[in-house]
Amino acid sequence: MNEAQALLSLILAIVLILLSGDDIWRDYYYAIVATVKRLTATKKESELFKYRYEKKSSEVAPKEKVIKLSEIRDQYIFIHHKKIFSRQENRSAYSKKGKTVFCLFLDKKDRQSRSTMLTCGLCIFLYNALSIWDLLSFESWLVFAFFAFGIATKIDFYFAKKRGYSGEYGGNRFEAEELIKFIVDHSEKSDFGGPGGKIKLMPDNEKADESESLWGGVKDGQ
């Protein structure tokens, strides 16, 4: 590995890490600290952590709700919510609940893309370090592959966001299926009202007749 390659790969890693955002860095830091604590804790200590965690979730959490979401780690979801609900050019046919669920979907996609970028950035750092220590041979294409993967997730999220803000999202089979899959994955798993013990996704026929027609008057052959 020559100096130019090392410098270029470091720049690519830094770009990915900076694009991922500080809330994801914090998440990673807490996840690492929690894992280390859990692994190094004795049995007595782990019981104490559990007790503290339960106490925190029941007593401390309500006070934290006073902090505005837009000021803390959920700031991105707040931005998505604001844009989807208040933009004049949003031409989607989603109901209010549908828009909120779409906002949750975008937030998940956003966090997923940024954590992927951070992991890819750290991967490039790790690869560089291992190459310097002669444990691996350096190959430039691998660095570009990691970078491309990180950026591809960002591009995917960018288009989903753009289409969502303008109300275009969900207007084709691929996106409709994607959002429905998200809803199924994030729904209450104890809801077994559907056929074969599955989650009930569609209303009963009687209820469907009473409510507004799903097909908006369009029928086969018309």
CA gyration radius, the chain: 23
Residues 155-184 that bind other proteins (CB under 8 A): 155-156, 159-160, 162-163, 168, 170-181, 183-184
Contact predicate 214/208, CB 8 Å = yes
Residue type at 21? G
Q: Is 197 in the site for other proteins (CB under 8 A)?
A: no
The smaller minimum CB distance to other proteins, of residues 25 and 78, is found at 78
Q: Is 188 in the site for other proteins (CB under 8 A)?
A: yes
Binding mask 43-62 for other proteins (x = CB under 8 A): --------------------
Q: Is 72 in the site for other proteins (CB under 8 A)?
A: no
- Among 4, 3, 5, 2, CA closest to 144: 5
Residues 88-127 that bind other proteins (CB under 8 A): 92-95, 97-98, 100-101, 103-104, 107, 112-113, 115-116, 119-120, 122-123, 126-127
Relative orientation angle of helices 75-86 and 96-132, to the nearest 10 degrees: 140
In angstroms, the CA 151 to CA 15 distance is 10
* Stretch touching other proteins by CB under 8 A, among 2-10, 29-37, 45-53, 130-138: 130-138
Q: Is 33 in the site for other proteins (CB under 8 A)?
A: no
Contact predicate 106/160, CB 8 Å = yes
For the CB of residue 7, give the shortest distance to other proteins in the complex, in Å: 20
For the CB of residue 69, give the shortest distance to other proteins in the complex, in Å: 5
Q: Is 9 in the site for other proteins (CB under 8 A)?
A: no
State how far the alpha carbon of 94 is from the alpha carbons of 77, 97, 99, 199, in Å. Answer: 18, 8, 6, 21
